[in-house]
Structure 1
Amino acid sequence: MTKPSPLDAGQMRRRTSPGSLRFETTAELEEIDDIIGQERALEAIRLGIGIRRPGYNLFVLGPAGTGKHTAVRRFLSRTAERERPPPDWCYVHNFKDAYRPRFLRLPSGRGAGLRADLDRFIAELRASIPAAFESDEFRGRLQALEAALKDRQEQALGAVQAEAEGKGVALIRTPMGFAFAPARRGEVISPEDFRQIPQAEQERIRQTIEVLQKRLQAALEEFPRWEREHRQKVRELQQETIRYAVGHTIAELRRSHADLPDVAAHLDAMEADIVENAEELMRPPGMPQPFPPGAQLTVDGSLLESPALRRYRVNVLVDNGGCSGAPVIYEDNPAHANLIGRIEHMSQFGALATDFLLIKGGALHRANGGYLVVDAAKLLMQPLAYDQLKRALRAREIAIESLAQALSLISTVSLEPEAIPLDVKVLLVGERHLYYLLTAYDPEFPELFKIAADFEDELERTDESAMLYARLIATIGRREGLKPFTREAVMEAIDHASQMAGDAEKVSAHMRGVADVLREADFLAGEAAAVEATDVIAAVEGQVRRQARLRDRIQEAIARRSLLVDTEGARVGQINGLSVSQIGQMAFGHPVRITARVRMGRGGVLDIEREAKLGGPIHTKGVMILSGFLAERFLPDKPLTLSASLVFEQSYGGVEGDSASLAELIALLSALSGVPIRQELGITGSVNQHGAVQPIGGVNEKIEGFFDVCARRGFAEGNGVLIPASNVVNLMLRRDVVATREEGRFHIYPVESVDEAVALMLGRPAGIREDGRFPPESVNGLVETRLDGFAEAARRFGSNGAAGPRGDEEKA
């Protein structure tokens, strides 16, 4: 088997072809309206928006910065423009139950008109009611009613008085009421004179007074009934007067809103209430009155001058009069109250009071008849907001209640506004893990959010797509007010997008990151007319430099030998594995020494990282695969009498992933064969039980990490890195790495199997089995001989009755 050849410099970094970009600067390019490369997600959005059925809400998922919000808003804006504006929503006083305000659904723009009409009506009412009650006609009729009552009372008393005078008895009015006394010729007889009258006459007078008292009592008992009749007549007079005073105004309101049956019904109820409460409306404004349901407060919390009139106002919850299409609402703070609305309170006379005019709408009210966009993570962080949203979508109505009411923390009397019918399309925007968690743990979620619009992390990189990407850069630049970008600058930006994707055949869909580079490059261009390639390169390098403190500290530790890594010479059972770390937004690679030690035993391969509880499950799986590979290749018919230990030297944190399994296997083969490993090479890759090398992630960062170590120490003969051959398409290395390859000082070797890696790392062929055995001087032959020796020694120990070395067999 021949050794793999190193890659050419052109295979280490793909450059955008100048011929694919047919312009001098982006000023020549047209803007692009759609998000490029997201056809799958846009198709899902079109489907979800188009289906007007319950449950067909959308969850727009994908990593942050891929333009999800931009795409959604742009698509919704275009769709909403073609739709009719939704109705206005108002709350009005419920004359049957003041604590349950009613809603009115009005055509778009009519809510403000109705409010203005009723405000004018109330203003007229404030003037017309006092004027009507102060008119001469009303006063005259009221005085006539009062005179009639008085005459009736006087006639009743006069009849009793006349009868009494005819029988020699006088009717006397005292501060305590009425009394009868004996009289002679119209004069009341004194008690002394009365005693001088004969006894029979005294008795007759007493009996007469008793009869007269009964008649007086009968007359006085009629007084309350007459007064009630009088009050009823006065009330009817007041109602007639008010009906006359407001009738023509309400008639005009009815004519203005004759096409709205709900408004007409409300005007009828309002007129009946005005007539029914005429006496209350007559009350002078200065008189103290309780805070009634439906009372309106001024800004400073004081009562207006006519509390009884406040309930005739209109609370316009949503005014769509200025909309040219369906509303598109993005709620940045989807708290419970901001989402479904709230009922505000004001301090009045030392207590909190409210009314229907203090009902405030939420995002669902504003988006009703249109679209609501909410960030899923922000929604889930707000108490009960997600539950209330689901409740509204299930019931298809918006019921306003406070968070305290929803949690049953209070039991005080409050308003219960009539629930408003809901017709809205909700789009939750969030990352994929939120979608998968909600799908797994919330049974209602798939029923309410049936459509998933999944945004791609990466886009295809072709010569045809390069022009689209260039137009996207031009669009971002114009919207951000940036200078034009030259063709070479666009080429560098596309190359950087490919670096961000970690793939030579892809570009990153993380538009936020691309836009950040464009802004910084524009700043670095200064007063120049256009942004050049050097500005883009400087912006990219500046971003890395600002976040590279930890990377530089690790490189410094390796250079000072605080972290032991050899970049020349050869060592048995010691190899340079490559690791990648993610700190914040910065991913960087660095080498790590991996060592292997072997001895006879029956424990297999011991993963020290796992035993120290520093190894993750994927890393442990990779190590356990090595035992299967060794047994299948070298001892298919014999027990594996091997105890080996593997460790990441100077590793003080967790180790996860299987990208070091190839390095660990070669370290084991070196320890078993005794053939030293070339330390000028680093290696990364995953391996399966058949010895095939599998692709890994972070290949560019790992190569650059080992490159930086070699560069600090000075390149030794043969420095380079082994990578899986399937990772070649992912290479988008830094320019200095490519330049060093062109000088022949750093190499990258693609390998497809363990045997190819062994030939490079150990400097001799791995060996192919012939006639049942590997060549004795090959690496595989030496390993096979060593393992056979372990097996024979173990057999001898067993035949002698000895226990045999167990090694770490329980720990593999």
Structure 2
Amino acid sequence: MSIKKLSKEDLEYGYKYDFSTEDVPPEEVFLKQDRVEKAFDLALNTTKEGYNIFVSGPESIGRTTYALRRLKEKAQKEPVPEDICYFYNFDDPLRPKYLLLPAGVGKGFVEEVDRAIESLKIELPKAFEGKEYEEEVAKITKEAEKRKEEILENLAKDAEAKNLGVVVTPMGIKLLPLVGRRIVEEPELFANPRLQETYQRNLSEFEERFRDYIRALREEDHKLAEKLNELKEKVATFVVERVFSRCDERYCHEPQAVEFLNRLKKEIVKNVDLFLMWKSAEGNTQMLAYLEKLFKRFKLNLIVDNSSLNGAPVIYEEVPSFQSLFGTISYTMEMGVLYADHTSIKAGSLHRARGGYLVIRASDLLKNYMLWDAFKKAIMHSKVHIPGYTVEDFLLPYVGISPEPVPLNVKVVLIGDYLTYQLLSIYDPEFNRLFKVKAEFDPVVDLDEEVYEKFPRLIKKILQEEGIKDLDGSALSELFKYAVMLSGSKKKINVVMGDIVDVIREANVFSEGERIIRGEHIKRAIEEKFYRSNLLEEKIRKAIVEGKILCAVDGKRVGQVNGLSVYELGDISFGKPTRITASVYLGDKGVVSIEREVALSGPIHSKAVLTLSGYLNGKYGKDMPLYLSCTITFEQSYEEVEGDSASVAELLAILSALSGVEIRQDIAVTGSVDQFGNVQPVGGIKEKVEGFYRVCKAMGFTGTQGVLLPSRNFENLVLSDEVIESVEKGEFHLYLMDTIDDAIELMTGLKAEKFHKLVKKKLIEFFKRANARGKGLKS
């Protein structure tokens, strides 16, 4: 018999601290996450397209904290990206253009331009009201009038030769008959038919020449207007250049700024009348509001100001949406119509993260498929398009704008879980192209001296951040043990810090009035955390004690074994004994699971049942066919049964029913068996052992009760102090097995060889009875 009975020493895990957190420095530690570190090293040192990062792992393991820390360390060594401005597109007003300026330059540049515009509102009217300008206008006008007088004199001379006189009226120039030196007026002309006939003939002969003079006069008017406009432009240019001279000098080394200023100055000169109207509109509120709207075209809209950065930006977008990621365009209503211009543009996270890093939770991003698709396109095409279609949902006319997309250079870090990564990899063809680097956190890591040494520093860091008092050595030891218990193995530790932080917070409450948190406070926090969630377990245990759920924890039965099940309820998991029974009779159906027949068996459990058939046929059917029908079931179980951890118990129940040998009810069994009778490890060992322990305690210890489990699960026995103390007292026992024969000998008290002979005897009996009924041997 190779059964091993465990002692208290076997169950203790052996790590204790003899110092408090007062004696250790705080350190933000991510225990044993080499895979994540290497993934970040690769991604952060690669500038090629697609080397964005998907950080995978469970909640509360520190995915976001780690990502932000690494990104900020890298960002501090990188240059600050440009400021981003939008300005009015004079060629296409509905498509504002962007302007990139060196970091910190944008704010000052916008202020300089605004000051210049405000100054021009004063300086331009002053220049055009000045004496020099008026004298120049008068001079140009006088010269033009002189030339027009000469043309009129020549016109009069030529017209006189045709007996026509020139008359200048407010309506223009007209020709009338000339008699002697007197011009005949129209009433007299219309009263004299002969004179009228002569007039018409002379007028017809002079008409072509008259047109030439009129054209010459008009040309002079055009020249006058051109010269006045040239003068106006010259004066305006002079004033604009003088006002912008400081701005030109300060930003002459920025090509984009110079290009923008040159275009802006030309447009101001073209629209100089607006500045002149501003002066005349003083006191007219309505007119000033109208002009203020027109003056917006000369303003810059600074949407990203990086003047306060010391490196590349690191942006964590907590609530991703179209507006928060891509920016927004604000619309204002005027006369029932929605309007927007370049000053209505506001930046999104993609604009602010440009040249740096953007961190987003994948689940938040994927809730809106259209958002996810647009986000991918922005990364893929390296451009940020600001959506302008949000107003389309309103039943109102609108004048929208489509800003020029800003070039995008950003490294994205998505925070998600393993399943999300797998689904995206399989079903999104663009995902692997865009997120080439996977950084996966391991929630359970190997326990070694390095982990043991760094754990107190990590706890100290948490205490500082939470503003919680220190832990003494016993509290630190209990907390470390709790982390090991969460891992389910004495050789590992769970590094998902969410549950650990909760325990610390609650222990801090229980230690109110004391200087330091002690081990008893940690224990109480853990116990009460379990107590708040184990109402269902308590009701099930009470039902067992009351006999409503049948479960014997002493004596012996044929064809009945106490198996162990684990209930997963989200915030808690616990074990409970389950009565497994088997009934055998002559037939050829083999092993039949009642759960499988009524569709309450999962695929893994169904496989385990078929494995039992493999064991029976391999063990007992090598020299004869088996004529056996057997039904097995989990009594008083009405939900789906899944897993193979009950296959040892099921096999024992079947063999007991065949042999007629009674099985101990004071020992619960868990473990998986293969076709050769080897016992394999299973999950939920801690929950199963403690679940059966609590039932035995409630029903009264007999001193023989315990659990039989696979030897390969030895390291998973991270049990509570209460169970370990009960083992020490001899109230509760734990046994390890390697094969089904080990289980047979402990559970029946018979040698395995003798037990198998009894089973074989029963199967031979079935064989003979089957032949006696004329079934014969099968070929």
TM-score > 0.5, shorter chain as reference = yes
Match of 1:82 in 2: 77
Q: Secondary structure at the match of 1:245?
A: helix
Q: Secondary structure at the match of 1:696?
A: coil
1:224-246 Cα distance to aligned partner (Å, 9 max, x none): 54444333223222211110111
750, 763, 768: which one aligns with 1:787: 763
Once the two structures are overlaid, the 10-residue window that deviates more, 112-121 or 792-801, is: 792-801
Kept in 1: contact 2:83–2:103 (CA 8 A): yes
User: In structure 2, do the counterparts of structure 1 residues 284 and 547 end up closer, same or farther at CA, with 3 Å as the change threshold?
Assistant: same
Match of 2:201 in 1: 207
AA at the equivalent of 2:481? D
Kept in 1: contact 2:445–2:493 (CA 8 A): yes
User: In structure 2, do the counterparts of structure 1 residues 630 and 136 end up closer, same or farther at CA, with 3 Å as the change threshold?
Assistant: same
468, 489, 493: which one aligns with 1:482: 468
AA at the equivalent of 1:792? K
41, 48, 71: which one aligns with 1:46: 41
User: In structure 2, do the counterparts of structure 1 residues 416 and 782 end up closer, same or farther at CA, with 3 Å as the change threshold?
Assistant: same
After superposition, residues 702-781 of structure 1 pair within 5 angstroms as 702-767=688-753, 778-781=754-757
Q: Secondary structure at the match of 2:611?
A: helix
1:676 partnered with 2:662:
yes
AA at the equivalent of 2:713? N
Match of 2:31 in 1: 36
AA at the equivalent of 1:125? L
1:120 partnered with 2:115:
yes
1:486-514 Cα distance to aligned partner (Å, 9 max, x none): 01110010011111111112121111211
Gaps of 5+ in 2: 283-287
Match of 1:662 in 2: 648
Once the two structures are overlaid, the 10-residue window that deviates more, 421-430 or 120-129, is: 421-430
User: In structure 2, do the counterparts of structure 1 residues 460 and 205 end up closer, same or farther at CA, with 3 Å as the change threshold?
Assistant: closer
Match of 1:809 in 2: none
Query: In 2, Cα distance between the equivalents of 1:722 and 1:800?
Result: 41
Query: In 1, Cα distance between the equivalents of 2:259 and 2:646?
Result: 78
Q: Secondary structure at the match of 2:301?
A: strand
Match of 1:291 in 2: none
Kept in 2: contact 1:336–1:384 (CA 8 A): no
AA at the equivalent of 1:234? L
Gaps of 5+ in 1: 289-301, 768-777, 804-812
1:640 partnered with 2:640:
no
Match of 2:598 in 1: 612
1:75-97 Cα distance to aligned partner (Å, 9 max, x none): 22222223332222222333433
56, 62, 84: which one aligns with 2:57: 62
Once the two structures are overlaid, the 10-residue window that deviates more, 473-482 or 350-359, is: 350-359
Kept in 1: contact 2:81–2:102 (CA 8 A): yes
Query: In 2, Cα distance between the equivalents of 1:53 and 1:132?
Result: 56
Kept in 2: contact 1:13–1:731 (CA 8 A): no
Query: In 1, Cα distance between the equivalents of 2:131 and 2:551?
Result: 111
Match of 2:330 in 1: 344
Kept in 2: contact 1:500–1:508 (CA 8 A): yes
Query: In 1, Cα distance between the equivalents of 2:259 and 2:335?
Result: 34
User: In structure 2, do the counterparts of structure 1 residues 455 and 150 end up closer, same or farther at CA, with 3 Å as the change threshold?
Assistant: same
Query: In 2, Cα distance between the equivalents of 1:696 and 1:573?
Result: 23
Kept in 2: contact 1:336–1:383 (CA 8 A): no
Match of 2:130 in 1: 135
Kept in 2: contact 1:339–1:385 (CA 8 A): no
1:521-569 Cα distance to aligned partner (Å, 9 max, x none): 1121102111111111111111111111222222222222222222222
Match of 2:266 in 1: 272
360, 375, 383: which one aligns with 2:346: 360
1:9 partnered with 2:4:
no
Q: Secondary structure at the match of 1:374?
A: strand
Query: In 2, Cα distance between the equivalents of 1:191 and 1:79?
Result: 97
Q: Secondary structure at the match of 2:118?
A: helix
- Report % sequence identity: 36
Match of 1:557 in 2: 543
After superposition, residues 89-488 of structure 1 pair within 5 angstroms as 89-146=84-141, 186=182, 188=184, 203-210=197-204, 219-222=213-216, 224-284=218-278, 305-402=291-388, 414-488=400-474
Query: In 1, Cα distance between the equivalents of 2:342 and 2:627?
Result: 85
555, 562, 568: which one aligns with 2:554: 568
Q: Secondary structure at the match of 2:315?
A: strand
Q: By how many angstroms is 1:330 displaced? A: 1.0
Q: By how many angstroms is 1:164 displaced? A: 6.3
The root-mean-square deviation of aligned C-alpha atoms, in Å, is 3.1
Kept in 1: contact 2:475–2:522 (CA 8 A): yes
Q: By how many angstroms is 1:183 displaced? A: 7.1
AA at the equivalent of 2:739? S
AA at the equivalent of 2:516? A
Q: By how many angstroms is 1:412 displaced? A: 8.3
Query: In 1, Cα distance between the equivalents of 2:324 and 2:378?
Result: 14
Match of 1:774 in 2: none
Kept in 1: contact 2:388–2:401 (CA 8 A): no
1:180-208 Cα distance to aligned partner (Å, 9 max, x none): 6557774756858975x6x7555434434
Q: By how many angstroms is 1:578 displaced? A: 0.8
Query: In 2, Cα distance between the equivalents of 1:484 and 1:540?
Result: 18
Count of aligned pairs between the two proteins: 771
Once the two structures are overlaid, the 10-residue window that deviates more, 278-287 or 687-696, is: 278-287
1:324-355 Cα distance to aligned partner (Å, 9 max, x none): 12221111122233223333333233222222
624, 629, 645: which one aligns with 2:615: 629
Q: Secondary structure at the match of 1:577?
A: strand
Query: In 2, Cα distance between the equivalents of 1:56 and 1:499?
Result: 37
Kept in 2: contact 1:11–1:731 (CA 8 A): no
Q: Secondary structure at the match of 1:598?
A: strand
Q: By how many angstroms is 1:125 displaced? A: 1.6
Q: By how many angstroms is 1:150 displaced? A: 5.5
473, 481, 487: which one aligns with 1:495: 481
Q: By how many angstroms is 1:396 displaced? A: 3.0
663, 681, 688: which one aligns with 2:674: 688
Query: In 2, Cα distance between the equivalents of 1:209 and 1:76?
Result: 91
Kept in 1: contact 2:94–2:402 (CA 8 A): yes
Once the two structures are overlaid, the 10-residue window that deviates more, 489-498 or 610-619, is: 610-619
Kept in 1: contact 2:325–2:349 (CA 8 A): yes
1:57-83 Cα distance to aligned partner (Å, 9 max, x none): 211111111112222222222222233
Q: Secondary structure at the match of 1:339?
A: helix
Kept in 1: contact 2:770–2:776 (CA 8 A): no
Q: Secondary structure at the match of 1:384?
A: helix
Query: In 1, Cα distance between the equivalents of 2:94 and 2:113?
Result: 21
User: In structure 2, do the counterparts of structure 1 residues 254 and 622 end up closer, same or farther at CA, with 3 Å as the change threshold?
Assistant: same
AA at the equivalent of 2:235? T
Q: Structure 1 length as normaliser, TM-score?
A: 0.88
Kept in 2: contact 1:337–1:403 (CA 8 A): no
Kept in 2: contact 1:639–1:791 (CA 8 A): yes
User: In structure 2, do the counterparts of structure 1 residues 597 and 304 end up closer, same or farther at CA, with 3 Å as the change threshold?
Assistant: farther
Q: By how many angstroms is 1:601 displaced? A: 1.7
Match of 1:796 in 2: 772
Q: Secondary structure at the match of 1:636?
A: coil
Query: In 1, Cα distance between the equivalents of 2:592 and 2:644?
Result: 15
1:27 partnered with 2:26:
no
Q: Structure 2 length as normaliser, TM-score?
A: 0.92
